[in-house]
Amino acid sequence: MTAATDEHGGANSYDLRWDDPLPHELSPIKYYLSLPSSPSTKAAVVLIHGRGDNINDMVDCFLPTLHRRFGGYEGRFDDDDDNDGGEGRQGPVAIVGLEARDNIWYPESHNAVEQMSAANNEPYQYSALDKLRKTLLDLTNTHGIPLSNIVLGGFSQGGILSDTYLVAGLGHLDGAKSTELDLVPLPAYILSFAGSLFKTPPRFPARSYASAEHQEQVLAASKSLKSPAQPKKVTARLLCGLADPYFPEEEIKSAAATIVKASEARKSQIDVQVSVGLEPNAPHIITPRMIAALVESLEEILGAQ
């Protein structure tokens, strides 16, 4: 274990180069309603579950409503499915579910500030955010689904990752230090369900802590990637219950304020609309209001087609 200097100039005595593969690199991505490759698919929902959960359980909260509203296959496609399977197994909306290794995206609290605890969250934070980044690039570059037609929804740990991804993206949006390697494609709708931000920001999208092999792989892959057009507008909604024991009202509002501040520096490039919805008496669960927010986002996308 050797001392290292981080990208902000600070010393981190506990840092080591990250080994390949990164924690979530090989964890599954699961598909529901319709496959992104289906000609019928016009929009995609990317979902990120919470700590100790799995993506199937999270999708179960949304799938019945989305199936009734938009049609498609009311189930999960098998891992070896390479087509939509024909009538009844395709629709305008694909659900893309990201799953964490061992069902945990990062081991320590998002409020960790003590050096060792914060350091323990890496490379898990980076790996989770990079998995999201690669998924969005794949949806756009491989399957032709524009960022303006993608909704990101995360619950708890997934909500924190969603908010953090947005702030990171705004920080690297056509910035002077931005490169192909640092490209952070932003979906047009970002819904944070019971989520805030990390007190100790992750090192995403900087890759200086990754192994040389990982950096070379990313560099080689990035040369073949198109830079997708960022949406002109991003709608960010932070929804949480007032009876949630993990996320007090002040923390949700503080996260929203941070997103607003990050967006102000980019207002000439992208219009970011931020709102907070707090539900009285709602505990740490996915509520009907959260499900409705996802449906509303998809209706806006498909209604504009």
Q: What are the angstrom distances between the C-alpha of 230 and each of 186, 191, 192, 272?
A: 6, 17, 20, 12
Rounded mean pLDDT of 73-84? 77
Confidence of residue 200 (pLDDT cuts 50, 70, 90): very high
pLDDT, residue 114, reads 86
**What does the pLDDT read at residue 10?**
37
Query: pLDDT tens, 22-35?
Result: 999 999 999 999 99
* Cut 0.95: pTM above it: no
**Helix pair 249-264, 157-171: axis angle to 10 deg:** 20
The pLDDT score that the predictor gives to residue 19 is: 78
Is omega for the bond preceding 202 within 30 degrees of 0, making it cis?
A: no
* Residue 118 banded pLDDT, cuts 50, 70, 90: confident
Per-residue pLDDT for 207 more than 90? no
* Mean pLDDT, residues 70-84 taken together: 81
Q: In 3D, which of 195, 189, 132, 171 has the Cα closest to residue 263?
A: 171
Q: Domains for the chain: give ranges and CATH numbers.
A: 13-303 (3.40.50.1820)
> Cα 128 vs. chain centroid, distance in angstroms?
8
Q: Is the pLDDT of residue 305 over 60?
A: yes
Task: Specify the pairing of strand 43-48 against strand 150-155.
Answer: parallel
Report whether pLDDT(21) > 70: yes
Residue 63 has pLDDT above 50, yes or no: yes
Please give the single-letter amino acid code of residue 198.
Answer: F
Task: Give me the sign of the Cα torsion angle 106, 107, 108, 111.
Answer: positive
Q: What is the pLDDT of residue 115?
A: 85
**Tell me, what's the pLDDT at 205?**
83
Under 8 Å between Cβ of 269 and 223: no
